[in-house]
Structure 1
Amino acid sequence: MIKDSYQTKQRLISTNQESNHLDSNADQQPTQDYNRSSINASQAPQKPRGFNLIKYLDLQDRKLSRCIHQAELPHFEYLIVAFGTIFNRLYCFIPIFITCALAAQQPEKLTILMTNHSQKYASKLEENGGNKLSLSLFWLIFNTFLLLILLFTTQTLKRLIRRNRPSALRVARKINLTDIEKGTLSMPSGDTAQAALWCGLMNLFFQSQTVMFMVPLVALGRIYYQCHYIGDTLAGGMIGFFIANLGFVHFDRIASFIFPMVI
């Protein structure tokens, strides 16, 4: 009797051990499956990230521009600031008045130019002897018209691109231009665009190639005083030259609206 009860007890113990072993295996199986899946996921090939050309160019532009932002040229600052401000929106009327003065000083050249482009008004110009006042008024309106197109283009692009201006660095500057540009956007550079427009007109209509050196100097001034990046000035220069060439190519159409006002 004692022997039977002992055997029964041994059977119960072995049965319990087997059930516990099965339960532990069942508990370990999800963990093992999870570990295997995580290992497989880590070993799976990662998808390569796409190359963003715009971000790359923006980064390189900032790096190159920072070299000029940090430069110190104390002996040339007053010269640089002159080019950095002359085509600012606050002083954009100065180049226009220079154009009008050139038109008054060189009436023969402009009369020939207008005669070649607009035969319809050639006789009236000859009768008036290339009237200086008429020529000055014409170039005042013509230049202002192209300038308005340029301002509309640059301001629209600024709002579309929405590139912020460079962060002001603690670099010694005798004149602070960054405060003037607070709250405005950076791309493209309006000052460089206006410089390219005016110099382009001088080159195309007055055959004055020497003024072209002003465009890179204006761009340098805008970058040096931390108002723009290099890319901003390049974009502004291209826009200005494009609109100047546009005015030269379509001179007849534009002149047909302006001449009746001044002749």
Structure 2
Amino acid sequence: MSDKSQQRKTEGGLLATLDALDKKYSAYVHNMRAPFLVQLYILFWGQIFNKEGPLVSLFSILYCLINYGSTQAYAPLYYGLTYFTQGMMAYSSTQVIKRIFARPRPVHDKNIYRIKDIRGKEICASWPSGDSSQASLFAFFLLFNFPQFVAQLPFGGYFLIIGCIHVSFARVFFQCHYFGDVIGGLVIGAILQQINHHIANWVQQQIKVNMASEESKNSKKPFKGVSIIEYTIELQTNFHLQAKVDWPPDMPDDMLEDAITIAKQTLDAHDFETQGVEIARLVKKYMDDKWEPYWHVFLGKSFGCHSVHERNRFVYFTFEQSKISCLILSNSFGKSLNPLTQLLNQSEIVDEFQSLLSNFCKDLKEQAVTVQENMEENWKTVGLDLKVKAS
């Protein structure tokens, strides 16, 4: 027997062994019996990425955009088309692989009670699982594009992993797949999302470079923003400011333009080394007057800050020529104190409060002196009595 024949026989034996083990352990779940409520819970995960999958995914992405995504108007269209394209790629890939390997589905045992027969509608090949690949694709899409949203989930990114495991187990429980099928689907979804993510970044970087080169031909320096999806608008509106947004801004475009413009004008009109505090005060006053209080402005070439800001009220940028960074944000803490501040600003109330406080302190001091004198007198009396008794 030749070496190639021996190798093929060995590989065939290994695959047959793995296939037998996969079917053996999957059969335990195929034949598993569960109460009605438990099956209802498993059914939810078994169908969430089936027919209802695209709808659930798009609603989830829309929620992420509203709460944690970009403020640009075209962001929902961008992310929606991106996810739709990647989902179609995952679906097409799994269908092609199924036709190539043509692994039969598990035996449909109708004697095992299931609250809904979703196995009967599954007629194509078994490996890999399309639902598992879509679940993995969706999880990594959120992880790559909405890390802030993922961080807010219970257990963070592990929550997405738990969801993928639930989907995979449900597909095996309803006799739609073997364990090997769902594992293959999870791996394929993760690989496709990783590839798509790198391709999207490469395309966006190429667009960024091309747009920058077009502007350089006209002797204009583009406004360099780190958020690629927002780069187009920034390039068109802010290139003359020569500023770089060092963190994805959470601020409407007109407010962002205004904040950078006033900071640039104020810095140009003053000496930063000697009038830094005055520059920050003027920028704050301008933002308070135009965009409502209460704004906080931090300027410097090297500083640290930890603060909380309102939604749509944050930007952090650096002027490339002077290397001066500006952190401009607003929060509602000052607004909650506004009525109290106005009340205390009334001179009559302040004077009356000071008078009451002064009288209270005076009375307290007099009472303390009286108590001290009484205690001294009592101690003298006690000492005299003890002396008489001793004699």
- So what's the TM-score if we normalise by structure 1? 0.67
Number of aligned residues: 192
What is residue 31 of structure 1 aligned with on the other side? none
Kindly indicate whether the alpha-carbon contact (under 8 Å) linking 1:193 and 1:238 is maintained by their aligned counterparts in 2: yes
What is residue 146 of structure 1 aligned with on the other side? 86
Aligned equivalents of 1:211 and 1:50: distance in 2?
A: 40
CA shift for structure 1 position 94:
1.9
Using a 3 Å threshold, how does the CA distance of structure 1 residues 254 and 96 change in structure 2: closer, same or farther? Answer: farther
More strand by share: 2
Letter in 1 for 2:23: R
Aligned equivalents of 1:245 and 1:94: distance in 2?
A: 21
What is residue 171 of structure 1 aligned with on the other side? 112
Match of residue 64, structure 1, among 25, 28, 31: 25
**Runs of 4+ in structure 1 displaced over 4 angstroms?**
254-260
What is residue 49 of structure 2 aligned with on the other side? 87
Match of residue 135, structure 2, among 180, 185, 195: 195
Percent identical residues: 24
Match of residue 39, structure 2, among 77, 83, 97: 77
Aligned equivalents of 2:53 and 2:198: distance in 1?
A: 27
Structure 2 gap segments, 5+ residues each: 1-5, 151-156, 209-227, 234-391
Kindly indicate whether the alpha-carbon contact (under 8 Å) linking 2:136 and 2:164 is maintained by their aligned counterparts in 1: yes
More helix by share: 1
Letter in 2 for 1:222: R
Kindly indicate whether the alpha-carbon contact (under 8 Å) linking 1:200 and 1:212 is maintained by their aligned counterparts in 2: no
What is residue 8 of structure 1 aligned with on the other side? none
Structure 1 gap segments, 5+ residues each: 1-46, 112-129
Letter in 1 for 2:195: L
Aligned equivalents of 2:40 and 2:169: distance in 1?
A: 13
SS for the counterpart of 2:74 is helix
Letter in 1 for 2:84: T
SS for the counterpart of 1:250 is helix
Question: 1:98-137 counterparts in 2 under 5 A?
Answer: 98-107=60-69, 111=70, 130-131=71-72, 133-137=73-77
Match of residue 98, structure 2, among 155, 158, 174: 158
CA shift for structure 1 position 145:
1.0
- Within the alignment, does 1:228 sit opposite 2:177 as a pair? yes
What is residue 218 of structure 1 aligned with on the other side? 167
CA deviations on 1:84-139 (whole Å, 9 max, x unpaired) are 000014532321231122112223xxx4xxxxxxxxxxxxxxxxxx22x4111111
Aligned equivalents of 2:187 and 2:78: distance in 1?
A: 25
Aligned equivalents of 2:44 and 2:203: distance in 1?
A: 32
Aligned equivalents of 2:146 and 2:103: distance in 1?
A: 36
- So what's the TM-score if we normalise by structure 2? 0.46
Which structure: larger Rg? 1
Aligned equivalents of 1:70 and 1:96: distance in 2?
A: 34
CA shift for structure 1 position 211:
2.2
Kindly indicate whether the alpha-carbon contact (under 8 Å) linking 2:75 and 2:229 is maintained by their aligned counterparts in 1: no
Using a 3 Å threshold, how does the CA distance of structure 1 residues 220 and 89 change in structure 2: closer, same or farther? Answer: same
Question: 1:218-257 counterparts in 2 under 5 A?
Answer: 218-255=167-204
